[in-house]
C-alpha cells in the first residue's frame, strides 16, 4: 500500500522554464511534507518542507504547494537550471505522533535540457 505516490517517474524541462513535480498521498493523518533531491551516488538532500496548516511555502526558486482536500502537493522550480537535474523524492509524516515515520514516494527523475 503506497501511501505516498509520485506517478511520474521522469520529467524533462527546458532550462529557464518552470519544473512542476507532483505528489499524491492517501493518509489524511499526514501533517508534514518534505521534498528531497538526490544526485547519483549521493544520499538525498533535504530541499523544502510544508506543514499542513499552510498551503504554500517558498524558498528562493523552490515553492511547494499543498492541497489538503485533494491530498496533493507539488514542487515548483522556476527558473529551472541544469544543476536541478536529479531525482526528487516527496515524503510525508505525522508530526506529533510518537510512532511517526517519514514515508517516501518512489521519486521523479528531473532532466533539465539546454
Partner 1 sequence: EAGVVQSPRYKIIEKKQPVAFWCNPISGHNTLYWYRQNLGQGPELLIRYENEEAVDDSQLPKDRFSAERLKGVDSTLKIQPAELGDSAVYLCASSLDIQREGSFFGPGTRLTVL
With CB under 8 A as the contact rule, which of the stretches 14-22, 35-43, 65-73, 77-85 interacts with partner 1?
35-43
Q: Is 44 in the site for partner 1 (CB under 8 A)?
A: yes
At residue 29, φ and ψ (nearest 5 deg) are: -80, -15
With CB under 8 A as the contact rule, which of the stretches 11-19, 55-63, 71-79, 94-102 interacts with partner 1?
94-102
CA distance 60 to 46: 14
The residue count of the chain comes to 114
CA distance 79 to 13: 10
Q: Are strands 108-113 and 10-14 parallel, antiparallel or unpaired?
A: parallel
Q: Is 36 in the site for partner 1 (CB under 8 A)?
A: yes
Size of the site for partner 1 (CB under 8 A): 26
Q: Work out which of 9, 29, 56, 113 binds partner 1, going by CB under 8 A.
A: 9
Q: Is 62 in the site for partner 1 (CB under 8 A)?
A: no
CA distance 67 to 53: 11
CA distance 98 to 109: 32
Q: Binding residues for partner 1, per CB under 8 A? A: 4, 9, 32, 34, 36, 41-47, 49, 51, 89, 91, 93, 95, 98-99, 101-102, 104-107
Amino acid at each position: 500500500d503506497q501511501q505516498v505516490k509520485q506517478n511520474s517517474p521522469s520529467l524533462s524541462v527546458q532550462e529557464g522554464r518552470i519544473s512542476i513535480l507532483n505528489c499524491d498521498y492517501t493518509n489524511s493523518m499526514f501533517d508534514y511534507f518534505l521534498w528531497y533531491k538526490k544526485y547519483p551516488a549521493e544520499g538525498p538532500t533535504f530541499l523544502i518542507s510544508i506543514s499542513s496548516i499552510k498551503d504554500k511555502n517558498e524558498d528562493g526558486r523552490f515553492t511547494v504547494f499543498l492541497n489538503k482536500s485533494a491530498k496533493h502537493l507539488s514542487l515548483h522550480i522556476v527558473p529551472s537550471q541544469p544543476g536541478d537535474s536529479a531525482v526528487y523524492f516527496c515524503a510525508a509524516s505525522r508530526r506529533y505522533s510518537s510512532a511517526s515515520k517519514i514515508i517516501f514516494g518512489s521519486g521523479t527523475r528531473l532532466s533539465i535540457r539546454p
